[in-house]
Structures are given as structure tokens and as C-alpha cells.
Structure 1
């Protein structure tokens, strides 16, 4: 190790397994965890900085499988730079950038551009998601193999924002990605059942006079695709699950050994269709906010492992496209900077999940799904793996903050939690051993 390379001792934090411990970062690696961390730190050479983590939770860096960074093409709403700043402030050390940019990330050239922009920004790792079909048009497969073999090494493919509705095309995609251990992440929405849909279908949609979005439109696609995945022996990931019926279908599939994983969003864990009574477009999202019973089913599904991970579905929009009449407003919400507080509020503070569970759904499991080898290196019991890359998030669960989107690092302000009190705050984040967040503020980006 270079004698001038900074070393960091995270002191007295609570690890996901509930133990209080020190963590030593040297040479961008988790050099020691436990009693030997302090003695090794004191005996070592070079500058040593101490992070007081007393009363705080020390987590493996968070991994998001579902982020919209908008660049290239919609830099007025978000850029890779601003989006990854938001990710770092939210505790994420790795994000997957969805393909619905302009141009669409359906070729090796575009995914390499996004990957390079992430490296230049330096706030967290950026892994581009490749489109399943050319232009997200659902007509023919995109260059899946070329994207997989590019410098970006794409392993997750999705037409998110659009459903791969053609069953033959979906089958071919599932077959294709097997060659490089990829996964198809499906936006489950039967298009003919949701034409013109504006909110969850039910009594409230009739009262409000808004076109309904039936739960079966999601559930029918999931049922079809888990059977396709079983038929071809491939991996399927289901994006932003939102209904109780979807949870049951995924549970059924897993019981039969089908290789399916699924995510839920923070907003579907906390908000319900009742928010739409305000006609405030900040609550317009795809899939729509559902019933309280669906929220409870999603929480229980995460607690029992049916739902594998949290995907933020961070979807920044400009004021012009969001702060307008409901029926023409864009769908989507920001979520990177509020994800961990929402998870604490909905799962930890309710007793459904401990911090080992949080590290599972927000770090180790999404890293495994995406086949990342340098993220989420922690055991099921919540024990850090020494020698692993030092991607670490320190989180204070004891503070309470009122959400103010004007203070967020993201370029857009369409947070559905404006004015809401949420627990917790990220205080420090290390990306490959480099401090990108220190003392609740952005520090410096990592250089490559």
C-alpha cells in the first residue's frame, strides 16, 4: 500500500448482523472487520481518517437495478452526473441505468457512452441496461450480444416503460441471454388492457373519472413470462411489482423452481391510490399506486423473500412535463435519495425486517441478480466479507427529516414525499474505498 494512500476506520457502527464493530478500509478494500480493525489501523502506515459511526448502521453499498438517468437526450430532466450524485446521497454505490434514453440504449455504442459517462462522473458505478428490442418498439431484438460483449458488459436487458408484449419475441430474448448469463427485466403491462389508463382500476377511479388500470394487466404478463422462463430455462426479472396477485404468481413460480426474481419500488410500499384524490400529477406513476391491500402484500412479500429486491424506479421529469394537467402529465417519481428512509419506515420500523434483511434486498441480492462481483459482498447473516471492494454506506436511523425536494441532488423535483416526515439519513458513503459522501454532504467523486 502506498504510504500516502488514505485509510479509513469506520468506528463503532452497528453491522447488519446487529453487532457493534469497527471496519477498516485500506487500498480500496475492506481490510478488517471486528476487533482487529482498530489494532491494524493503529499499526499501519499512512494517514488514517476515522468516521464515528456510533449509533449508526453500517451497510454494504446499496445497488439499484432500476434507475432512469435520462442521458443521452433528456438532460433537462437528469444527467448521469446529477443522477449519480443523487444516488450517492441516497447510499447507492451502483445503479443500473434504464435503456429508455434518446437515443435508446439498444446498441453497444450507446451503452458504452452511458458507461463512460458514469466513470467520468465518479459518484457511483453505472451499469447500463440494454434494450430488449430496437427502439423499444417491440418488433425485433436489439443487439443483445454486442451489448453484452461491449466495455459496459451489459447483463440486464429491459424495455422498461414498454412491455415486451409479443410472446414469441419475449421467448427469443430469454433464449438469447442464456449465452452470457443475462437476465430479461420485464415491464409487466398488457398494452391492450391499459390503453389510456390513468390510475388503478377500481371504485376510486370511477369516482375520480379517470380511466382504470386493472391489476390483471400486470398479472397476466407475469404469469405468461414465468412459464416462458421455465420453458426455455432462462432468468426472468419482474420490474416494479405492484399488486397482491402478482406477489402470489411469483410465489407460485418460485415454489416450482422457476428462475424468477422481482422488485418492488419504495413508493408502492408506502403510497396508495388515495393520493390520487388530490389530482396532483406527482402521484402519477407506472404502474399506478394501488390499494392498501396491495401495499401490505408487497411488504410481506419482501419480508418472506418472494420479492427479492427494491428498485427505486427513479424517474426524474421536468416541471413542464410533470406540473400540468393530470391526463397529460408524465408518469414517474424521483426516488434515489428517499429509498432507504422509506424502506426503514415501511419495513424496519414496522418490525417486518431487520437490517440484515435490508442489506439483502438493497445490496447483496440486486448485485447477485445483475452478476456484479464487486458489490454486495456480505453473507446472508449480515457479515461483511473482508478483502472485498470497500463499497460501504453509513446510515443514521435515529434522525427524522421533512422531505424537501429543493435540497435534493437530482435535477428534477417530482418527489411524492414532499413535506412528509421520514426517518433516517445517509451520513457517509465509500465507493471502492473512496469517500463520495462525508458528514451528510457530497465529498469528491472517485477518479479512474
Structure 2
């Protein structure tokens, strides 16, 4: 690989500096670096961040390649500024064995748009009754450290305790989809005024909060690590804040859509707004933003959930739950957190790169933009404004809630170990 000089970028939103990449590594960071023998990228006014890391992505392969594949999903990730993603286990077959997680891991290596770290299922077939091969998945070539039945809750307290005990031996983490199933039977949207007016089955906040409360207590009892997926309510924030004050080893994530959208969107009956957990109230949105700002919520994770057209273009009750998010995540965070003054760009680097890499143990990712570090980088034109057009997505699916909405920011370049995967806003 030739040398690349990124000239005049605002590193983490700070002073303009040059960044020289040599091969897979950052060779130097500073002002007025020599461009001799290097390809030059003029980056004046743009923000340079460490490559983004998503701890919660659905790549759908194997089994639902009509929705997404490892290739299309990682192309979407690169387009959004990501250099590493963690692929959830709810595939067909379920990623509950060493063989399946190794298949996903190797597909990521072959395609090369970003690193793919599989997440292993907690229970066999996501059925919640028997622990999956956690140890075998960890010892496999994929080296799985994060386990989740996402899409379903590990609702049995005994199974959850056993899982927490098991992964403690090798420093793993259980990522819980907090949803008490008995409280959400027939649920279609957030339980509240809007659900009552629309006549749709309500999804109460307590269904999430009760599981989080139980699991942080189990983690404390066992002395293990628990991660809360897609936290969505103000009450959940308070439980996690309390748990952290007690020294419990808990981390939590919020999605971009829960930072921006509310249950008022459901009045349109457009299934693009149907998601699990559901869009909540304005009060919840404000609480989530504040919690992300003060560190109660550790990271932003996309919960990128692609679906084919026919699974969304139908009546609300029959529609699948989920939204694509990899290609719009950084823009939503810019709008909701940076432009509101709640986060600096340095803090964005923490919530979208450093912290998720640390939680998931993503080697070589979430590293500082400094000499000697792997050249995993994202260059953002934060001054850009444009309407979201899903026709231009790299993802195989188009189920975005932001179609036609103006969002700020555009990823112009993404580098994976010094190799450009996105150049001038287009896939390399």
C-alpha cells in the first residue's frame, strides 16, 4: 500500500492536523507533515475520528440473504464509517455453535469492507431452555466473547445466571435483550396515550425495566459482566445508573433511532417505525440523550435490522420489527448529541469507537488517532446537509425511518488498516 496523507483534518474535532498513513499503521500526526511519496486527501474542515465500532448489527447471513449478507452489510457499515461490527446470532441456522460463528467470521475476512466479530447465542436455537456451546464458540477461530439471544430475551433467571457464571471464566459478556415476554404478548408499540388512541397493543416500559433490574442483580451476585442491548426508557436509565453506583459491572447501549424518534411517528401506521423495543415518548428520548451524555449509557449501537420490502410493505400488525441504521447512525448522533451540545466529537469517538471496542474486545479497533496505532479511521464532512435517499444505500434493504428527512454529516472516507474502503463518499 502507498502512503496516504490526510491533510488539515480536525482530529476528534480539535485543531487541524495532518495524519500520515504508511501501510496499515498511522506513521505520524502533526502539523505540516511531508506529503512526499504520499497520496494526499485534502480534509480541511472535516472531522477525523477513529473507525466506528458497532456492537449490535444484524447481517442476516446465513439464512436470510434476501434481507442482507455479510458482504452487503459490511459495505453498508463502511459507508457509515464503521471498521468493525459485531454480528448478532439470530440467523438461520442460529449462531449457537463454533461452526456457524466461524462461517460468519470467515465471510467477513473474505469481503474485507470491515472486520466482522460474530456474537454467539446464549441458548440453543434462541429457545431459552438450554445453554449453547459458549466455550466452544469462544475457543473457535472466531474467538467469541459476546453472547446474546437478541431478538429474544433470556427470560429464565436460572439460565441467565448460568450464562453469567460460564462466561466469567474467560472474561465474556452476556448482552441481554430486555423484554419480559409475558408482559409483551400481542404488543405492537409503546404502551401509552398514543397506543390507546390508535387501538394498538401496548408494550409497557416495565417489560424492559424488570428484566434489567433482575439481570444487574444477577450480575452482582455472580460477579460477572452484563450488557443491556438497545435501552429505551427513562426508567431503564435510572436502574442502570443505580447499578453502576453500586459498582455492578453493567454496560448499556442506545440506538440512534431511540435518540431521535418517538411513538408519535406511529400515528402514520407506517411499518417503517415498527421496531423492538418500540419507539418511546419524548420524555424517554430526552432521558436517553442525557444518559448517553453523562456516561450512564456507554455506547451507541445501531441494531441495524434489515428486512426485505415485502416484510415491511404491509399492514402494521403483520410487519416485521426493525430498521436499518449503519449508514445513518453518525448523522443522527451528530444531530441529536453534537449539535445540541450534549457531546463533543471526542466524546462521540468514545461512545461509537473506544467503548464498544472495549466492551466487545475488538482487537485493533477503538484506538487513539496517534502514531503507531492501526489506521482504522473515519473522515466526516460535518458541514454537509442532505435528505436521506435509501436508493443510494449499500445495504440490501431499504427499511429506514429517515427517508426524505434532512440529516447532517456525510462520511467521505473510511480506512480499514490503512486501506480505503470508502473514497469521496463512495465504496472503494
Residues 320-370 of structure 1, C-alpha deviation per residue, up to 9 Å, x if partnerless?
Answer: 111101001000000000000000000000011110010000000000001
Moved more, 348-357 or 11-20: 11-20
Equivalent residue in structure 2 for 1:419, among 391, 401, 404:
404
**Which residue in 2 is equivalent to 1:434?**
419
**Partners of 1:439 and 1:9 in 2: how far apart?**
15
Matching residue of 1:446: none
Which of 179, 193, 209 is residue 189 of structure 1 equivalent to? 179
Q: Quick one: distance in 2 between partners of 1:172 and 1:210? A: 36
Report the 3-state secondary structure (helix = DSSP H, G, I; strand = E; otherwise coil) of the residue aligned with 1:8: strand
Deviation at 1:240, TM superposition (A): 0.1
Gaps spanning 5+ residues in structure 2: where? none
Q: Which residue of 2 aligns with 1:31?
A: 27
- Taking the aligned partners of 2:23 and 2:79, their CA distance within structure 1 comes to 23
CA distance in 1, matches of 2:178, 2:341: 30
CA shift for structure 1 position 373:
2.6
Once the two structures are TM-superposed, the CA of residue 17 in structure 1 deviates from its matched residue by 5.5
- Partners of 2:40 and 2:132 in 1: how far apart? 48
Q: Does structure 1 conserve the Cα–Cα contact (< 8 Å) formed by 2:13 and 2:47?
A: no
What is the match of residue 275 of structure 1?
A: 265
Residue number among 127, 151, 154 corresponding to 1:137 in the alignment: 127
SS in 2 for 1:288: coil
Correspondence for 1:405 among 386, 390, 408: 390
Distance 1:149 1:31 in 2: 34
Provide, for residues 384-433 of structure 1, a one-character-per-residue CA deviation record: whole Å limited to 9, x for no partner. Answer: 23211110000000010100111100000100001100001000010011
Distance in 2 (CA, whole Å) between partners of 1:48 and 1:24 is 8
**What's the secondary structure of 1:412's corresponding residue?**
coil
Indicate conservation of the 8 Å contact 2:89/2:148, yes or no.
Answer: yes
The number of equivalent residue pairs is 428
1:90 matches 2:80: yes
Q: How does 1:200-349 map to 2 (within 5 A)?
A: 200-349=190-339
- Mapped pair 1:63 → 2:53: yes
Alignment map for 1:1-150 (pairs within 5 Å): 5-16=1-12, 18-35=14-31, 38-39=33-34, 41-42=35-36, 47-150=37-140
Distance 1:233 1:52 in 2: 49
The answer for the alignment partner of 2:342 in structure 1 is 352
C-alpha contact 2:53 2:357 (8 A) present in aligned 1: yes
Q: Which runs of 4+ in 1 moved over 3 A?
A: none
Gaps in structure 1 of 5+ consecutive residues: 379-383, 444-448
Describe the superposition over 1:51-89 as per-residue Cα deviations: whole angstroms up to 9, x where unpaired: 111110000000000000000000001000000000000
Distance 1:431 1:409 in 2: 17
- Aligned equivalents of 2:210 and 2:344: distance in 1? 33
SS at 2:161's partner residue? helix
Per the TM alignment, residue 27 of structure 1 is displaced from its structure 2 partner at its CA by: 2.3
In 2, the alpha carbon distance for the partners of 1:386 and 1:252 equals: 39
TM-score of the aligned structures, taking structure 1 as reference length: 0.95
Please state whether the residue corresponding to 1:400 is helix, strand or coil.
Answer: strand
Give distance in 2, aligned partners of 1:111 and 1:405.
30
Structure 2 distance, partners of 1:333, 1:372, is 25
Offset of residue 249 of structure 1:
0.4
1:155 aligns with 2:151: no
Q: Secondary structure at the match of 1:87?
A: helix
CA drift of 1:34 comes to 1.0
Between the aligned partners of 2:13 and 2:215, the Cα distance in structure 1 is 36
Give secondary structure in 2 for the equivalent of 1:394: strand
CA distance in 2, matches of 1:330, 1:154: 28
* Equivalent position SS for 2:169: helix
